[in-house]
Amino acid sequence: MNRTPNSRRDFLKGIVVTTGSSIALPRLLGRTSPTQNAVPYSGPADYTLTIATKPIELAPNRILSLTTYNGQFPGPLLRFKEGQRVEIDVRNETDTPEQLHWHGQFVSTDVDGAAEEGTPFIPPHGSRRISFEPKPSGLRFYHSHVRAGANLALGQYSGLVGPVYIEPKQNPGNYDHEIFLTLKEFQPTLSRGGDMAQDFLSPEQTVAALKGSGERSMKASLAKGNPHGYEVGYDSFTINGRMLGHGEPIRVKAGQHVLFHLLNGSATEIRSLALPGHSFSVIAMDGNPLLKPVRVPGLWLGTAERISAIVEMNHPGVWIMGDLADDDRHHGMGIVIEYAGSKGKPQWAQPSPFKWNYAHFGHPVGSSTQPDEVFEMLFEKQNAALDGFNQWTINGVAYPADQMSAKPSFHLHEGRRYRIRMRNASDDIHPIHLHRHSFELARIAGQPTSGIFKDVVMLGGYQEAEIDFVANNPGLTLFHCHQQLHMDFGFMTLFDYL
């Protein structure tokens, strides 16, 4: 890329394009210097997030009653500075105790927003002031972390999702515009079985033993007369809370470099995204910079994954940037990209088929640093075992449904490096998430890699993956599948520090 120095200056002046999402400006008056994380009320906070149920218009004839932050979807974009302490008031105007999780940040257990780690709930019709030093830099997000179970209005099925951008101390950005897009579906319904995309991950190699065990278990359940366990489907698909064709287009000029910060805010779905005639130069995954930019024809994001990618606008027209699945795009999963001087109906074209291989984004060799200890984890599904919902276990144990701290299953020593060897004995893809830490991908379906730091990774059906992390943030640490239906029905475990 050859951008003029001007681009950078413009960016610093605050030329930030957001589509359908306003920016919450920090209030800097009356700041205090707290030393703790949960702080008493003393003057105004830097930000206030209010959880309330309000009408939200996805399209002119589709107005939903949704619980959101500050009456908007997505919640306000919060721009923090790395390491610069913020104070935030979270108000809860609903009847449900809430948890606000700072996904991807290295915060302490009392503000992380997971009751399982001991974060206090934000009581119904109450509020809580929290304070923390945002880190690490990059694209993070915040979302509700309450168990929904069979209630499809709660947890991430709601509108309680918003983006966070933490400005690095040194900004390597080189682009004309910066656009934040949150992908999310609404109007969930239960069905027997589902149609999750399966064939996009590479390598495709599955493990015979995992497949054998998963298929035997499913066959035995069906033979007993059980139906397939519930899956969730949706009627409305949106980018920044607007269905395709009902939001403002993203207006660009030929020759611009546009940095997209993409967030999959879904409760349960994996999303894909392509822009006809353009490619994406991925610069960061889950907010963490790659070793070098990697060009791909399209993107895949598991639940809660983020991608920051630069698109060179070199193919004038009026285009749909949308999901590869026709059905999802036709139900709203897309946004219009409009070049200056171009007119007409937005066009879509399916890109040439491509596979999504994490290893492609890093070094093709494993890390030279060996772990001090390896944790083995086997993920299994008990079909329709809980009132028609699938039950999920890690090493045979389902996390209790009361959302409180359970006995930690894995023990850490501060400063040590750990490897988690994950084995998936189910045919589902699991977006696996570790709280309060980043991990490095070490091996994906048999392929070694290094240099990719994430906080969510998709583990393919009947596949294995290895992730490494350094125990550098003491306190209870939750590990779970980010698919709401999976985490709510057992797919969670706790690490503690000894």
Burial of 43 (0-12, 13-18, 19+ CB in 10 A): exposed
19 is a contact residue toward Cu ion (CB under 5 A): no
* 17 token code pair: 């394009």
Q: Minimum distance between the CB of residue 233 and Cu ion, rounded to whole angstroms?
A: 16
Distance (Å, rounded) from C-alpha 320 to C-alpha 302? 21
Instruction: Output 232 or 481, the one with its CB closest to Cu ion.
Output: 481
* 387 token code pair: 């009132």
Q: What are the strands of the beta sheet with 126-132, ordered from one edge?
A: 62-69, 47-59, 86-92, 126-132
Q: Which of 135, 271, 443, 486 binds Cu ion (CB under 5 A)?
A: 486
Instruction: Mark the segment that binds Cu ion (CB under 5 A) among 145-153, 311-319, 352-360, 478-486.
Output: 478-486
Q: Minimum distance between the CB of residue 481 and Cu ion, rounded to whole angstroms?
A: 3
Instruction: Output 137 or 493, the one with its CB closest to Cu ion.
Output: 493
Instruction: Output 122 or 481, the one with its CB closest to Cu ion.
Output: 481
Q: Minimum distance between the CB of residue 260 and Cu ion, rounded to whole angstroms?
A: 26
Instruction: Output 267 or 470, the one with its CB closest to Cu ion.
Output: 267
Q: Minimum distance between the CB of residue 424 and Cu ion, rounded to whole angstroms?
A: 9
Distance (Å, rounded) from C-alpha 490 to C-alpha 33? 40
481 is a contact residue toward Cu ion (CB under 5 A): yes
Q: Minimum distance between the CB of residue 432 and Cu ion, rounded to whole angstroms?
A: 8
Q: Which of 21, 94, 483, 484 binds Cu ion (CB under 5 A)?
A: 483
Instruction: Mark the segment that binds Cu ion (CB under 5 A) among 359-367, 428-436, 444-452, 455-463.
Output: 428-436
Instruction: Mark the segment that binds Cu ion (CB under 5 A) among 190-198, 233-241, 451-459, 481-489.
Output: 481-489
Q: In sequence order, what DSSP letters do the residues of 166-211 get, joined into one string?
A: EE-SS-----SEEEEEEEEEEEEEEEES-----TTBSS----HHHH
State which of positions 429-458 bind Cu ion (CB under 5 A): 430
424 is a contact residue toward Cu ion (CB under 5 A): no
Q: Please answer whether residues 262 and 183 qualify as being in contact, where contact means their C-beta atoms are separated by less than 8 angstroms.
A: yes
State the number of binding residues for Cu ion (CB under 5 A). 4
Instruction: Output 103 or 486, the one with its CB closest to Cu ion.
Output: 486
Q: In sequence order, what DSSP letters do the residues of 205-248 get, joined into one string?
A: ---HHHHHHHHHHHHHHHHTT--PPEEEEEEEEEETTB-TTSSP
For 484, the 3-state DSSP assignment is: helix
Q: Are strands 100-103 and 138-144 parallel, antiparallel or unpaired?
A: antiparallel
- In this structure, what DSSP letter does residue 428 have? S
Other residues' Cβ atoms within 10 Å of the Cβ of residue 74: 30
By the criterion CB under 5 A, which residues form the site for Cu ion?
A: 430, 481, 483, 486
